[in-house]
Structure 1
Amino acid sequence: MKELIEYILQFGNLNEQQIDLITSKATEKELRKDEYFSEAGKIPRQVGFVVDGVVRGCYYNNKGEEITRCFIPENNMAVDYPNFETNSASAEYLQASTNCKLIVFSKQDWDELSHTIVGWDNIRNKMVQKCLYQKSRKSPVISQDATTRYLEFLENYPTLTNRVSLAHIASYLGVTQQSLSRIRKNIR
């Protein structure tokens, strides 16, 4: 819980009572590798904070191929926020790439914090902006060559190469696993 509170306090100040309220609304959740935190076609019902592990955002394209859109490592929020906020069905999945431990808030508890804590909306909005920015900023630019995309992946996610599957990294980069293996071999 300490990690979550430190994360929240980057975005604003809270007193001890407010922190106690937040922690009372939070629950811990463990996901095994490949389990879903939220699924396409369903309304996201919870906001998560990754304490340990890596969650990935993915979807299926019109050819039925699985595409990894982003990775969400420790100390980041895991949520399909636009659909969570509007109670609408998601178009993508949030799936555990590794065994994960998350701190989770239900929609009702998340909304209750807004009604109870003065200034929570401002803190929440900053957290959501960071979450959305990270998801958009880290998507590879397909116009770059594959080696450049891989080098940027290493820069954006320096700890992930040995933690998530090569298939997911290749999917994120828009290359085949064989191409990724070649790229990795040439870089060493």
Structure 2
Amino acid sequence: MDKLIEYLLQFGALDSDQIQFISNKGKVVTLVTNEYFSEAGKTPKYVGFILKGIFRTCFYNNKGDDITHDFIDENNFVTDMQKFEAQAVATEYIQAITDCEVIVFTKKDWDDIGKTIANWDAITGLILRKCIGEILERRNFLVTGDATARYISFMKKFPTFINRIPLSYIASYLGMAQPSLSRIRKNISEKNAF
């Protein structure tokens, strides 16, 4: 719970009673690799704070291809916030791509926190703004450059992801087929070998 509180305090002040209230509402859960945190066609049950692991958001296109839209790692919130808040049916999946440990809050508990802590909306508003900014920044490099440049940018932006995420998900995120990504990785390795 300490990591979550430390994260929240970056966005606003909380007194010891408020911290205790938030701590009492959260529950730590473990998800194994490939388990879904949220599924398309179902209403999201939780908002979570990732203590350990990586999730991906994905969907299936009209051809049935699995498309990775984003990655979310430690010390970040994970949920489809719009669908969670509205208690509406999700259109994307949120899947654990490593074993994950997450502090989760039900909709009722999340709403209770919002009703009890006066500055909660301000804190969550700042967090949401930060998350949107990070998503836009992460996506910017995907619209410029060729496939090799996109992969090099991905390696620079997310150096810890390379050995933790299956290549098929990285390829999907970068908008290329896995054999193409394998060729790019091989070419980069050969160039760096000399």
TM bracket, shorter-chain basis: over 0.9
Give the letter aligned to residue 78 of structure 1: V
**For the residues of structure 2 that align with 1:172 and 1:134, how far apart are their CA atoms?**
15
CA-CA distance at 1:135 after TM superposition: 2.9
Residue 42 (str. 1) matches residue 42 (str. 2): yes
Gaps of 5+ in 2: 190-194
Map of 2:176 onto structure 1: 175
Q: Which residue of the partner structure matches residue 77 of structure 1?
A: 77
Q: Who is 2:90 aligned against?
A: 90
For the 8 Å contact 1:51–1:102, the answer to whether it is kept is yes
1:144 corresponding residue in structure 2: 145
TM-score by length of 1: 0.96
Amino acid at match of 1:98: T
Q: Give the superposition deviation at 1:143.
A: 4.6
Q: In structure 2, what is the equivalent of residue 59 of structure 1?
A: 59
Q: Are 1:142 and 1:174, in contact at CA under 8 Å, matched by a contact in 2?
A: no
Identity of aligned residues (%): 49
Q: Per-residue deviation at 1:153?
A: 1.2
- Give the structure 2 partner of residue 166 of structure 1: 167
1:153 aligns with 154
Is the contact made by 2:144 and 2:150 (CA closer than 8 Å) also made in structure 1? no
Give the drift of 1:151. 1.5
- One-letter amino acid of the structure 2 residue matched with residue 59 of structure 1: F
CA contact (8 A) 1:81 1:128 kept: no
DSSP 3-state at the match of 1:141:
helix
Q: Per-residue CA shift, 1:89-142, capped at 9, x if unaligned? A: 111000000000001111111111111011011001111222233333323524
Q: CA RMSD in A?
A: 1.2
The whole-number CA distance in structure 2 between the counterparts of 1:6 and 1:155 is 27
Distance 2:9 2:91 in 1: 31
Q: Structure 2 CA distance, aligned partners of 1:135 and 1:57?
A: 12
> What displacement does 1:147 show?
1.0
Contact preservation (8 Å) 1:25, 1:109: yes
Aligned-pair distance for 1:49? 0.7
2:32 — aligned with what? 32
Q: TM-score, normalised by structure 2?
A: 0.93
The amino acid across from 1:6 in the alignment is E
* Counterpart-to-counterpart distance in 2, 1:93 and 1:152: 25
Structure having the higher Rg: 2
- The answer to whether 1:186 aligns with 2:187 is yes
Counting matched residue pairs gives 188
Report the equivalent of 2:105: 105
Amino acid in structure 1 at the alignment position of 2:89? A
Runs of 4+ with >4 A deviation: none
Partner deviation per Cα, 1:46-67 (whole Å, 9 max, x = no partner): 1011100000000011111000
C-alpha deviations, 1:123-176, integer Å up to 9, x for none? 011112222333333235245311111122112211011011001111111111
CA distance in 1, matches of 2:135, 2:90: 15
